Amino acid sequence: MEEIIKVTGLKKSFNNVEIIKGIDFSLHTGKVMGIIGPSGSGKSTVLRCLSQLETVDDGSIEICHDFLVKDGVYCSKEESRKIALSTGLVFQNFNLFPHMSVLKNIMDPQIHVLKKSKDEAYETALKLLDRMNLSERADYYPCQLSGGQQQRVSIARALALNPKVLFFDEPTSALDPELTGEILSVIRDLASDKMTMIIVTHEMAFARDTSDYIVFMDGGVIVEEGKPEEVISNPKQERTKAFLSRFTS
């Protein structure tokens, strides 16, 4: 099984405060990695570095056998655009275009990024909306949808670009509890289809049941990592135990 992402010595600071302190991890094709930890531990920053929304200070990121950054030096802009096409990011706050219909939100990235024809983009959008059980909402605008429906549209939009790996940044944190289940169900379906994913989440049961591998971060470092039954069900580090006790007590 091939390694699709490899991160070594990753460091990132904001205003001279080190947020990520030299972490290493890798992800294999078809696998799901769950990243858990307290707020401010650097979880979301890792995803933002991988998806090129933030630049790293040092370390290396290799995606699909291409170096985005090696020992702190970035590849060319042309190469970085190519690498960007292999990843997709689903934000916690949806980030849909409010002035566009659901259908257009999914079609436009295909037309402008992948250079697809309108007909091709339309067909792909319809298939994805059907997969998300949103076919009847194609002509709606984001403001006319529930939070759960908006998040399903944002997942469809990310999938429309056919990424090799999908990043989720706390995909249920902006949702009411009753809407959380529908998003977790969609992600479980993607996992069963062997979609390669990294998921930052506070849903411990979901992380345990869906992930092949768990990373627990705190203070910008990886405190503990391993299989879900090891890290979540039987943690070895005291910091991990203290964090998880809030969810299991």
Render pLDDT for 152-187 as a digit per residue (tens, 0 to 9). 999 999 999 999 999 999 888 878 877 788 888 999
The number of beta carbons lying within 10 Å of the beta carbon of residue 59 is 20
Q: What is the pLDDT of residue 92?
A: 82
Residue 14: band (very low, low, confident or very high) from pLDDT cuts 50, 70, 90: very high
Q: What is the CA radius of gyration of the chain?
A: 18
With a cut of 60, say whether residue 89 has pLDDT above it.
Answer: yes
Q: What is the pLDDT of residue 63?
A: 97
Question: Per-residue pLDDT averaged across 115-140, rounded?
Answer: 96
Q: How far is CA 178 from CA 23, 146, 148, 172, in A?
A: 35, 11, 9, 10
- Contact partners, residue 219, CB within 8 Å, separation at least 6: 21, 41, 42
pLDDT above 90: percentage of residues in the chain: 85
With a cut of 70, say whether residue 199 has pLDDT above it.
Answer: yes
Of residues 39, 46, 37, the one with CA closest to residue 237? 37
Mean pLDDT computed over every residue of the chain: 94
Q: What is the pLDDT of residue 143?
A: 95
DSSP assignment, residue 176?
Answer: -
Q: Where would I find the H helices in 86-237?
A: 102-113, 118-131, 147-160, 177-192, 204-210, 228-231
The number of beta carbons lying within 10 Å of the beta carbon of residue 227 is 14
The pLDDT tens digits for 114-123 are 999 999 999 9
Neighbouring-strand partners of residue 8: 60
